[in-house]
């Protein structure tokens, strides 16, 4: 089991640790509900250094990204980021990811899920042929995952706390843009207005060298102490993202689900050529047979991943992909795939919890 540069910090803080994607990660410190509330109302710090980062360089870097991702990366200017996915050849999703444009048309960073680093790397390299093959030049590619630290500082007070640690203007950083400079005395730190919580804040990337991890972690908590900043584990990260209706790879999207089915048509651009384009275009034109929906429980019970979704007659119409008791809303919520005919808002559905069918209804996401 791998460690991140912050593992000793988590253990010293008394975090409940567990294996996640091959890493020893903090699940919670003071409790999921407490940490969840800290991010929604104030600020919290997540160690997400287990995520993967690839650097792609060269004149053909954009061409390669365009071939393997569903979104249109040609729209990105330097300092902008984009949410996208890597489609497979069968109309499924290899992974969802972020694409960062560091130098327009020449240098990009891809941020992928921890459990998919090797799979994603191999897929991208498969589509990166040697110079001279089909007119494509080899793109210089570097897997920098093992030497890159990533902290997500999320919440309404996050940027206010962090601004004192840098001359970069992060208070006014627009959503899905980033800057690079000195942070807490450490050079070449990327501060990105992205995150997985819907609570605002930033993510910061930096190389794990010359004690940078300890310097930055300690500086953040010193600056945030007067406002009560807290470390937050993966448990609250999951409840926060679910309240926003953000997909989790391996639960809500995977190699068998398409972005059209998952409500990710907005990251599927048909103005370019990419893997499975024809399959997705057909689904968009003719309608997908199933759809990912949000739902809330009407009867008492908590939906869990894998539970069956039924109609009023007890026939199976889908399955739950994510579910929890929402700390912010005080009710049980979930997401799942259902046959499209059952996907309209306010449609009554039933979740099979143990041997009981509990009533729920389809609702808009983000949940409210």
276: pLDDT strictly greater than 50: yes
183: pLDDT strictly greater than 50: yes
Q: Where are any strands of DSSP class E within the chain? A: 16-20, 23-28, 44-47, 52-57, 80-87, 93-103, 107-112, 140-143, 148-154, 178-183, 186-192, 201-207, 230-232, 290-297, 308-310, 316-325, 332-339, 348-353, 356-363
| pLDDT (0 to 100) of residue 287 | 92
CATH fold, domain 289-368, is: Elongation Factor Tu (Ef-tu); domain 3 (2.40.30)
Query: Per residue in 132-149, pLDDT tens?
Result: 555 455 899 999 999 999
Q: What angle do CA 206, 212, 214 make, to 5 degrees?
A: 120
317: pLDDT strictly greater than 80: yes
Q: If you average pLDDT over residues 4-31, what whole number do you get?
A: 97
> Are 332 and 303 spatial neighbours (Cβ–Cβ below 8 Å)?
yes
CATH numeric code, 7-48+146-242? 3.30.1360.120
| pLDDT (0 to 100) of residue 131 | 56
| pLDDT (0 to 100) of residue 326 | 98
Mean pLDDT of the chain: 96
Sign of CA dihedral 221, 179, 20, 210: negative
Sign of CA dihedral 17, 21, 23, 26: negative
Stretch(es) of the chain classified as CATH 3.30.1360.120: 7-48+146-242
Query: Per residue in 59-90, pLDDT tens?
Result: 999 999 999 999 999 999 999 999 999 999 99
pTM summary value: 0.95
**pLDDT bracket for residue 230 (50, 70, 90):** very high
Stretch(es) of the chain classified as CATH 2.40.30.110: 289-368
């Amino acid at each position: 089991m791998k460690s991140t540069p912050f593992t000793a910090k988590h253990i010293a803080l008394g975090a409940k640790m567990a294996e996640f994607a091959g890493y020893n990660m903090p699940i919670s410190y003071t409790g999921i509900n407490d940490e969840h509330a800290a991010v929604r109302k104030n600020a919290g710090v997540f160690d997400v250094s287990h995520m993967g980062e690839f650097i792609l360089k060269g004149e053909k870097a954009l061409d390669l990204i365009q071939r393997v991702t569903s979104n249109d990366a040609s729209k990105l200017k330097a300092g902008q980021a984009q949410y996208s996915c890597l489609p497979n050849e069968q109309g499924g999703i290899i992974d969802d990811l972020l694409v960062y444009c560091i130098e327009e048309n020449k240098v990009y960073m891809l941020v992928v899920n921890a459990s998919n680093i090797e799979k994603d790397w191999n897929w991208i390299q498969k589509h990166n042929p040697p110079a001279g093959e089909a007119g494509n030049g080899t793109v210089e590619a570097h897997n920098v995952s093992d030497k890159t630290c990533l902290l997500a500082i999320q919440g309404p007070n996050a940027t206010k706390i962090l601004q004192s640690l840098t001359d970069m203007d992060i208070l006014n950083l627009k959503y899905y843009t980033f800057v690079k400079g000195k942070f807490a005395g450490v050079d070449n730190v990327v501060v990105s207005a992205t995150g997985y919580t819907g609570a605002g804040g930033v993510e910061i990337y930096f190389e794990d060298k010359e004690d940078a991890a300890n310097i930055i972690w300690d500086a953040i908590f010193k600056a945030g102490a007067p406002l009560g900043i807290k470390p937050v584990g993966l448990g609250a990260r999951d409840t926060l993202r679910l309240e926003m209706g953000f997909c989790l790879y391996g639960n809500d999207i995977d190699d068998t689900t398409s972005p059209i089915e998952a409500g990710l048509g907005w990251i599927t651009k048909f103005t370019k050529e990419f893997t499975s384009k024809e399959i997705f275009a057909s689904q968009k034109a003719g309608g997908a047979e199933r759809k990912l929906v949000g739902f809330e429980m009407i009867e008492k019970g908590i939906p869990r991943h894998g539970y069956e979704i039924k109609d009023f007659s007890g026939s199976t119409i889908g399955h739950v992909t994510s579910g929890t008791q929402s700390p912010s809303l005080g009710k049980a919520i979930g997401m799942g795939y259902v046959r499209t005919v059952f996907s309209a808002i306010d449609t009554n559905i039933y979740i099979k919890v143990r041997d009981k069918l509990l009533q729920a209804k389809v609702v808009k996401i983000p949940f409210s």
